[in-house]
Amino acid sequence: MNAADLPKGETKAPVEYPHFPTRWQAAVWRNWELVPPSRLAEVLGCSEPEIRQAAIDLGLTADPQVNPKWLTHGYLTLIRTNWQLLPYEQILQLLSWPPEKLAYTLKEEDFFWAKVGKIKPDCAPLKYTALTPEQQAATAELKKSLRQYFPADRMAYLEAPFAFADQFAPRPQVGNADRFDFNYIHSYAASCGDVLGNAETLDPVPENLLAQYASMGIKGVWMHALLYLLNPIPGAEEYSAGHEKRMANLKRIVNTCAKYGIKVYLYLNEPRCMPMDFYEKKPQWAGFEVPPLHTRTVCTTRSPEPLQWLESTMKKLFGEAKGLGGVFCITMSENPTNCHYSVRHEQCPSCKNVLPEKIIADVITAMERGMHAADPEAKMIAYDWAWRRHPDDKDNLEFKSRVLDLLPRSVYVCSVSEWGTITHIGGVEQYLVDYSVSQVGPSPETLGTWEHARKIGTPITAKVQINNSWELSAVPYIPVPYLIEEHLNNLKKAGVSGLMLSWTLGGFPGGNLELLKATPEEIAASKYHPELAARVCQAWKQFSDAFRQFPFNVAVLYTAPMNYGPMNLLHLKPTGYTATMVGFPYDDINRWRGPYPEDIFENQFKIVTEGWKKGLETLVAAAALVKENERADFAELQTVADASYCHLRSTYLQIRFVRARNHGYDKAVMAECVRGEIELALQLYDIVRRDSRIGFEASNHYYYTLNDLREKVVSCARILNELK
């Protein structure tokens, strides 16, 4: 394989960055202190002294402190950083990766190809060149602008990126016994790629993290797995290289977690689609073609082989990895698997006359048989994510009930608690899809699913987001404990036995997880004296009330700028790019807003942030009450609350800016927004310097670096000059 074989998508010119005199200088700026200068010099075709001098000329640190974890733990950040700058060949050179590794990352690392927009901009190779006199003058102006906002003594991180990983430790327990029989959460240290293949170097469950999880009442962690990478498909063994190592790593992980009373659960999306040449060897496995992904579904009705392999693999898996807690499986949406995964089973000649509920139930049943043949105590959890008969169905209770009727009674059903809630935020009626912190569940549809499950003897569990969601994932937790407490109380009342506490985001071992055993008042009382505790609870209520007004919609979640916040650049001219799934917001307000009219969309973020500001003011007023032994906890709350505000308020300003630009080019409004963005970027910059958790999310790595926030400020300064 070579770089030319990597996916390209539509041919499109990259975004312009006029605040840099040359594009190669943008590459130096964005990658400085992320990769060694020698590597950057190789990529740009110059000497290391030349690249160092170029950085100095830009105002960057003369002696870069390169953190090697950017290449091992932050590679997704590096890829995004360079996506609009470098062609594939230079990205591979920068990462020192073979093309196969990047191809796997794009395909399997939590839909990363979708996150970058399913398009690789047509970037010309960047090469270092001597600057013209005009470029030298522009570079000097850029350095002057940088120094105006960022003196030399404010350029470095005070706490290194990824330093949070060394700080985990058991926490004092607050509250009473657990309210639910079991729970599991995505490990804060686990990636979404080949977790088991890299576990010996990138440990997904470090013991200090497990110790803190255990102290918080966490009983399980989950991580991604691909079954064919654990057990070869007979006759297609070449696709399973390294399966012995993965199984050995899984056994080690299970044993390590057991020391802390924590079970391991695997997320399975099976039977997983395979490369096209696999189906030439195994035509009896072939379902319908999925051209955008260069694959096919796996037909489970034409031949018994796929389901037989699933059953035997699960038996082997649970027979060898003794003590494995269980699995949860997604059988619709996500990756191509069975022929009803995308509600299109009629495209398969073998499946078109089969009831879709039977297709789904047969997959789950095969896995359950194999699992329980090896370990009757392991939990088989059927996640009803996206279960539906037809693409546009809004009430899916009937279909979910029919699937449950066909499953063994030992199978747990897991439902997204809030899915199906009818919301009226800003006067816009919607059927809620996906995860939400702002909208408290369970929905009537979910309650109906659980009622049916109880009638037939199926145990029920709930999928929730306790710490954060795609509404705001750049902070370790959203400080809205009264929303979480309300949700947990509702779930207890509904008779839920277990909780899936997070998707890939939200695995931070603290924050709102304290609510599993205690009320907000009990938590506040454990940290602060009574008067201060009352003020903190008041602020929490204000944050919670404000966040209820978040303009929830799945399009907003995945494409609007909340997760990148002040990092997202402003553009005086439309970029022409479409916002991507938690990847690049660009300036695509039509995608950001989903079903909300522009004015309502803007106003909802104004309402959210003005309400949030009241909570911040409550904390500022309470600061004088803080005693010495309370400072750390109070500072922690202020940090997370301030960072949350920066992201949410920046989203409001970006919406307002783009609307003013697109509708009449109102320079006064645009300039007002730009000044606000500078203030927020500077505020967030100071927070990020001292707290390595801010901006990090396990499945996306860091959303931004200090370089990015500095770039936002100097680009805004340039825009202000142009708007005069």
Q: Which residues of 351-377 are buried (b: 16+ CB within 10 A; e: fewer)?
A: beebebbbbbbbbbbbbbbbbbebbee
Question: What are the DSSP calls for 201-230, one per residue?
Answer: TS-SS-HHHHHHHHHTT--EEEEE--GGGT
Strands 412-416 and 430-431: unpaired
pLDDT of the residue at 292: 82
Query: CATH code for 172-519?
Result: 3.20.20.80
pLDDT of the residue at 106: 94
- Taking a C-beta distance cutoff of 8 angstroms, is the pair 570, 650 a contact? no
Residue written as token pair 């944050």: 543
Q: Which residues of 471-509 are buried (b: 16+ CB within 10 A; e: fewer)?
A: bbbbbbbbbbbbbbbebbebbeebebebbbbbbbbbbbb
Structure-block tokens of residue 224:
């991604």
SS (H, E, C) 402-453: HHHHHCCCCCEEEEECCCCCEECHHHCCEECCCCCCCCCCCCHHHHHHHHHH
Structure-block tokens of residue 269:
């999306």
- Taking a C-beta distance cutoff of 8 angstroms, is the pair 131, 94 a contact? no
- Per-residue pLDDT tens for 301-346? 999 999 999 999 999 999 999 999 999 999 998 899 999 999 999 9
Q: Look at residue 91 and give its three-state secondary structure.
A: helix
Question: What are the DSSP calls for 610-651, one per residue?
Answer: HHHHHHHHHHHHHGGG--GGGHHHHHHHHHHHHHHHHHHHHH
pLDDT of the residue at 178: 83
Q: Which residue, 701, 692, 585, is CA-closest to 192?
A: 701
Peptide bond into 271 cis (omega under 30): yes
Which phi and psi (to 5°) does residue 111 adopt? Answer: 60, 40
Considering the chain, what percentage of its residues have pLDDT values greater than 90? 95
Q: Look at residue 289 and give its three-state secondary structure.
A: strand
**Mean pLDDT of all residues in the chain?**
97
Considering the chain, what percentage of its residues have pLDDT values greater than 70? 100
Model-wide pTM > 0.85:
yes
Is the pLDDT reported for residue 430 higher than 80? yes
Strand-pairing partners, residue 221, are 185, 264
- Per-residue pLDDT tens for 139-168? 999 999 999 999 999 999 999 999 999 999
Is the pLDDT reported for residue 623 higher than 80? yes
How sure is the predictor about 193, in pLDDT bands with cuts at 50, 70 and 90? confident
Cα–Cα dist 196/206, whole Å: 14
Encoded amino acid at 63, one letter: D
Q: Look at residue 179 and give its three-state secondary structure.
A: coil
Q: Which segments of the chain belong to CATH 3.20.20.80?
A: 172-519
Cα–Cα dist 402/100, whole Å: 42
Q: Which residue, 493, 438, 431, is CA-closest to 462?
A: 493
pLDDT of the residue at 550: 99
Residue written as token pair 């599991």: 184
Please state, as a whole number, how many other Cβ atoms lie within 10 Å of the Cβ of residue 286. Answer: 20
Contact partners, residue 276, CB within 8 Å, separation at least 6? 294, 295, 296
Cα–Cα dist 27/20, whole Å: 10
Cα–Cα dist 471/550, whole Å: 8
Encoded amino acid at 553, one letter: N
Q: What angle do CA 192, 125, 713 make, to 5 degrees?
A: 70
pLDDT of the residue at 75: 97
Please state, as a whole number, how many other Cβ atoms lie within 10 Å of the Cβ of residue 401. Answer: 18
How buried is residue 277: exposed, middle or buried, by Cβ count under 10 Å (0-12/13-18/19+)?
exposed
Report the half-sphere exposure of 456 (CA within 13 A, side-chain side): 21
Is the pLDDT reported for residue 177 higher than 80? no
pLDDT of the residue at 693: 98
- Taking a C-beta distance cutoff of 8 angstroms, is the pair 588, 578 a contact? yes
Length of the chain counted residue by residue: 724
Return the CA Rg of the chain.
26
- Taking a C-beta distance cutoff of 8 angstroms, is the pair 220, 262 a contact? yes
Is the pLDDT reported for residue 366 higher than 90? yes
How sure is the predictor about 515, in pLDDT bands with cuts at 50, 70 and 90? very high
